[in-house]
Structure 1
Amino acid sequence: MSSQLPTGSGPSPRAASSAWRRLILRIVLGIVLLGAALVGYALIYPERMPAPIGDTVENLTGLNAHPVKLQRPPVAPLSAVAVLGRDLFNDPSLSASGKQSCASCHSAAHAFSPPNDLTVQPGGLHMTEAGYRPVPSLAYLYRQAPFSIGPDQGDTDAAPVSLDTQASAALGVQRAQKTAGVAPAAPAMVPQGGLFWDGRASTLQDQALGPLTNPVEMANPDLASVADKLRHSKHIDTLRQLFGPHVVNDPNLLVSEAMFAIGRYEFEDPAFHPFSSKYDAWLEGHARLTQAELRGLRLFNDKDKANCAGCHLSQPTSDGLPPLFTDTQYEALGVPRNRELAQNRNPKFYDMGICGPFRTDMARQTQYCGMFLTPTLRNAAERKTFFHNGVYHDLKQVLDFYNQRNTSPDRIYPSDASGKVQKYDDLPPQYHANVDVADAPFDRKFGDQPAMTDQDIQDIIAFMKTLSDGYKD
C-alpha cells in the first residue's frame, strides 16, 4: 500500500485571492455604476429625489430642483375690440399736442415703460411740461384687482362698501408683518389693488382715461375734446361698427368705449404679460441659474436678509399662475425727496400717494399718507427710474436705500444746517409713523450691521436681471 498522500483538487491560495479580488472589483464597479446612474437620474429628475438631494443638485447645476408647469394666459388672436385698442394706443392724434400717444410713454420695446432714461416724461400742449411722477410699466397688470382696503373680497355678491367705511374698519388693526415665504397670521388690513402709483384707477379702462386730460400728459381740456378727436379720427367707422351707430352721439360713451378697447388690448395681447424671463424658464426646469443668480434668489427670499419676497412675491400661485413679483399692496418706505422734480421746488408740496394730492377720495385717511403701490419687479433691471418720485436710477442705489435707510441714514438723506439728518424728508413729520420699520431689512436700528453685504447686493441684482423678458436659451 502506498504511503503517498492524495493531491488536493482545490485552488491554490494565490488563485483564490485573485478570485476574491475580481469579485470585490465587480462589486465596487457595480456600486460605482449604480451611483453614477443615481446621480444621472438626480440630475435629470431632481424633483423626484428627496429634498436634500434635490437641493444639492440645484446647488451643483443651477437647475430648479422642483420645476413646475406655469399656467400662462392663453395665446389667441386679438378680438376686434382689442385690435381697435391697439390702434388707439399708438395714435398721437388723441393728444392736444398731436405728438403723444399711450405708446410714447409705454413703449412695447421697453416692457411698456418709457423708452428713455428721463425721470419723468414730457407732455402738455407743447410737449414742454414735465410729468409729476415716473411712468410705471403697463406690463403684468392683467391680474390687478380694483383698489380696496382689508382682506381680499373675492367674487362675492355682497353690497359694495365705501372706501371710507373700509378704512374706518381697518383703523387700529395692527399691520400684518411681511415676511418672505410666510403668509400673514391675520388678514392684511391694508390698501391693495388699483392702478397708478396711488391706486386711483380701478380698471385698465380707467387707467387709459387718466392721461387724456392730465395737463402735463396728453393735455386735452376735457372729455368732450377727446370725443371730438375720436369723431374726426380714422377709427370712427370701427367704433360705429363695434359699438353701434349711435355711439358718436354721446361724448362720454364714445370716450368710454374707446378706453374700453385700449383696456382690452392691454388685457388680451400676450406682449403685456409674456412671462418669458430666464426665471420663468428656470421655474419650469428649462434654464440654469448661475451661482450668483442662485445666491441672489435665496437672498431675495431670505426673511432675515433682503426679504424682497415679503412684498414682491416670487413663487407661483397654488394653481400654477406665474408670480407677478408684487403683492399689489401699498407701502410707506420713506424714500428721500427728489429735488429735481418741478413740483418739489415748492417746499410745502408733498406727494403723499393714497391720501393726495392727485388722488382726492382718500384725503381724510391720513394713516395711509406716504403709501404707494408696490410695483412688479419683472423687467425692473431694464428701468432707469425707481420709486414714485424717481429719486434713484439703478438697482444698486435702490438696494443701498433698503440696506442703509435705518442703519446709516446720513448716507440716504440730507442734513440741515445744524448737521441733523432729515430722515423721511419727502413726507410731513406728522405722517412719519406710517413708514415701515417692522419688516426686514427695515427692522434694523441706527448703527446696526446692515442686512446685506455688498456681495449680497450684487448677487440680488444678478438674480433680478433674470426677471427681464425675452430670455433665449
Structure 2
Amino acid sequence: MLFFATRFTASAATRLAALAALAGAVLLPFLAVAASAPADAKPVYSDAAALGKLMFFDASLSASGKMSCASCHSPSHAYGPPNGLAAQLGGPDMRSQGTRAVPSLRYVLNRTPMWSHAQAASMSERLSETDNAPVGGFGWDGRFNRLRDQASFPLFNPDEMANKDPAAVLAKLEQAPYAARFREVFGQNIFADPTRAFVQAMYAIERFELEDPSFHPYTSKFDYYLDGKLQLTAQELRGKKLFDNPTGGNCASCHIDQSGVDGSHPLFTDFNFQALGVPRNPELRANADPKYFDMGLCGPLRTDQSSDKSNCGLFKSVSLRNTATRQVFFHNGRFHTLKDALRFYVQRDTNPAKWYPKDAHGKVDKFNDLPVALRVNVDTTDVPLTRKQGERPVWTERDIDDVAAFLATLNDDYVLKPKQSK
C-alpha cells in the first residue's frame, strides 16, 4: 500500500484520500463498470487526474522531447498506435525500435484482474481451462498489476521515452508549465522528496486513465445492440454466430462477448494468456538476431515467471474492442490487416506454408518465433487450432468478411440514428 502526501489543502486531501481507496478497489478482479456519463458531458477530474492528463500528453517528459504517452496511445485511435508500425520508434533520437506492438489502453483499465497463476499448473491443465491458468495484469505479459507501474515503464525504456532514472523525469516535471499546480496539489515541498514526488506523478497518470470516460466509453454499435437500441445487420449477425461457434471459430471462448451477470457489457477478453504460434516478424529489428526470442510470460521483459518453461510463448488475450480500427495485430505486429489476422487464425494449421518460411531442409518452419524445444507450448488443443494440414479451414473467405463485419461493430463512437433507436 502506498501512502500519499498530506501537505496540501484540506479539500484536496479529502479527495485524494477517497481516490486512493478507489484506486485500490478498481483494480480488483472484474469490478463492475461504473455508469457512463452522458456523451456530451465534459469529464470532471480530481486534482490528481487533471495533472495526469497534462503529463499523459506532455512530450517534454521524454529524453527526445518528442514522445508522450499519447504518441503511442493515441486517443483518436482508441488509445492504441496511430499507425501500422510493427513496433513504435522512440529513444533519445526517436530512431530506436521497440520489440512489441503497442496494445490499446482502452477498456482493460476498469476491470482488469490482478495477475494470478498457480505455479503447479501444467500445460495440459492450462489448456483445459482450469483455475491454474495464468490470468490478469497489464501489458502483453501481465507483469504490471497497477496502472501507475505500467505508466512508469515507458519513461525508462531506452526504446521509448528513454529517461535515465526518476530524477531525470522529475527534473523535467519541475520545469513543466504545470509544475506550480503539481506543488499545489501534492505539497509545496514535493520535489524535495524525489521518491514521493515520482509516486505521486505516476498516481496522477493512473487517476487520469481511470477517471476519463474516453478510456471506457461503451459507445459501439454492439453496445447499442445489447441495450436493445438497434439491430445488427444480417452480415454482422452471421459474423457473430461464426465468432461464437465452439466448433468453428470458437473466438468467444477467450474473447467473451456475453454481458456480465450484473448487466455489464463484455470486454471481449477473459484476461488469460495463450501461445498462438504467430510467425516471426522480420519487421522487428530485434529479430535480426536469430538467437533473440520474445517469449512473453517467461521473458525477456518479464523475468519472474521464466523458471516455468511452460510459460514461454504465452501472451495476453487482448480485448477485441476497436480491433477493426487497428493497423497492427498480435504482440509482434506480424499482421497489418484484420482479415489477415483472421485468416492466420483459421489457416495456421491447414495451410502452414502460407504463413511460415521453410527451414534449411525445405520443411515448413512452423511456430518459428519460438525456440524449437518450446514450440510444444503452442495451443493445438482448442478449436480451430486442432486442424491438420490439408484440411479445410473452418472459415471461408465469405465467413472472414462476416466476422470482420461483426468485429467492426465493436468500434466506439458509433452514431445512433433516430430511426434505429427504439
* Class of the TM-score when normalised by the shorter of the 2 chains: 0.7 to 0.9
**Which residue of 250, 261, 269 corresponds with 1:307?**
250
Aligned to 2:148: 205
Is 1:403 matched with 2:346?
yes
SS in 2 for 1:174: helix
Instruction: Please state how far the C-alpha of 1:188 moved relative to its aligned partner.
Output: 2.9
Q: Which residue number in structure 2 is paired with residue 317 of structure 1?
A: 260
Q: Give the aligned partner of residue 10 of structure 2.
A: none
What whole-Å deviation, never above 9, does each CA across 1:238-276 have from its counterpart, x for those lacking one?
A: 222222233212222211111111111111111001010
Tell me the TM-score normalised to structure 2 length.
Answer: 0.87
Q: Is the 8 A contact 1:73 1:270 kept in 2?
A: no
Name the CA distance, whole Å, in 1 between partners of 2:335 and 2:85: 11
- Asked whether 1:79 is paired with 2:46, we answer yes
1:471 to 406, 414, 418: 414
Contact 1:352 1:371 in 2 (8 A): yes
Q: Using a 3 Å threshold, how does the CA distance of structure 1 residues 71 and 93 change in structure 2: closer, same or farther?
A: closer
Conserved? CA contact 2:67–2:90, under 8 Å: yes
- 1:336-364, CA deviations, whole angstroms, 9 ceiling, x for partnerless residues? 00011010000000000010011112221
Tell me the amino acid that sits aligned with residue 244 of structure 2: N
Find the counterpart in structure 2 of residue 175 from structure 1.
Answer: 126
Could you tell me which of 97, 103, 113 is aligned with 1:145?
113
- Structure 1 residues without counterparts, runs of 5 or longer: 1-69, 150-165, 178-183
Whether 2:389 is the aligned partner of 1:389: answer no
**Alignment match, 1:134:** 101
Q: Are 2:322 and 1:379 aligned?
A: yes
- Residues 326 and 374 of structure 1 are in contact (CA less than 8 Å); yes or no, is this contact kept in structure 2? yes
User: Does structure 2 conserve the Cα–Cα contact (< 8 Å) formed by 1:176 and 1:189?
Assistant: no
Distance apart, 1:79 and its partner CA: 1.3
Counterparts of residues 249-328 of structure 1 (less than 5 Å): 249-328=192-271
Deviation at 1:402, TM superposition (A): 1.1
What are the superposed Cα offsets for residues 110-155 of structure 1, whole Å, 9 maximum, x if unpaired?
1011112222111000111112111111101221122111xxxxxx
Describe the superposition over 1:269-302 as per-residue Cα deviations: whole angstroms up to 9, x where unpaired: 1100101000000111111211110100111111
Note closer, same or farther for the CA distance 1:93–1:466 as it changes in structure 2 (3 Å cut): same
**Distance across 2 between alignment mates of 1:382 and 1:390:** 14
Name the CA distance, whole Å, in 1 between partners of 2:204 and 2:395: 46
Q: Aligned pair count?
A: 379
Structure 2 distance, partners of 1:130, 1:263, is 25
Alignment partner of 1:112 is 2:63: no
* TM-score (normalised: structure 1): 0.78
RMSD, aligned α-carbons: 1.5
Matches within 5 A, 1:36-55: none
Assess if the C-alpha contact under 8 Å between 2:346 and 2:393 holds in 1: yes
Q: Please identify the structure whose Cα radius of gyration is greater.
A: 1
Once the two structures are overlaid, the 10-residue window that deviates more, 235-244 or 118-127, is: 235-244
Equivalent residue letter for 2:345: Y
Indicate the residue corresponding to 1:343 in structure 2: 286
Q: Secondary structure at the match of 1:175?
A: helix
Are the aligned partners of 1:407 and 1:450 in contact in 2 as well (CA < 8 Å)? yes
The answer on 1:443 being equivalent to 2:386 is yes
Per-residue CA shift, 1:146-167, capped at 9, x if unaligned? 2111xxxxxxxxxxxxxxxx31
Change (3 A) 1:433 1:172: closer
Aligned partner of 1:20 in structure 2 is none
2: CA distance, partners of 1:74 / 1:446: 47
Question: d(CA) in 2 for partners of 1:434 and 1:418?
Answer: 23
Match of 2:189 among 239, 246, 258: 246
Task: Give 5+ residue unaligned stretches, structure 2.
Answer: 1-31, 38-42, 417-422
Work out the CA distance in 2 between the residues paired with 1:73 and 1:443.
41
TM-fit CA distance, 1:236:
2.3
Cross-structure match for 1:102: 69
Q: Which moved more, 1:225-234 or 1:288-297?
A: 225-234
Q: Following the alignment from structure 1 to structure 2, what is the Cα–Cα distance between the partners of residues 401 and 394?
A: 11
Structure 2 residue identity aligned to 1:349? Y
Q: CA deviation at 1:176?
A: 4.4
Q: Classify the secondary structure of the residue corresponding to 2:209.
A: helix
User: Cα distance, 1:74 vs. partner?
Assistant: 4.1
Question: CA offset at residue 234 of structure 1?
Answer: 2.2
**CA-to-partner distance for each residue in 1:51-80, whole Å, 9 max, x for gaps?**
xxxxxxxxxxxxxxxxxxx96544362211
Q: Distance in 2 between matches of 1:73 and 1:413?
A: 46
Q: Aligned partner of 1:145: which letter?
A: P
1:125 alignment counterpart: 92
| Residue of structure 2 in register with 1:160 after alignment | none
Q: Which residue of 2 aligns with 1:55?
A: none
Q: In the alignment, which of 118, 134, 152 is matched to residue 191 of structure 1?
A: 134
Q: Deviations over 1:364-396 (max 9, x none)?
A: 111100000111100000000000100001111
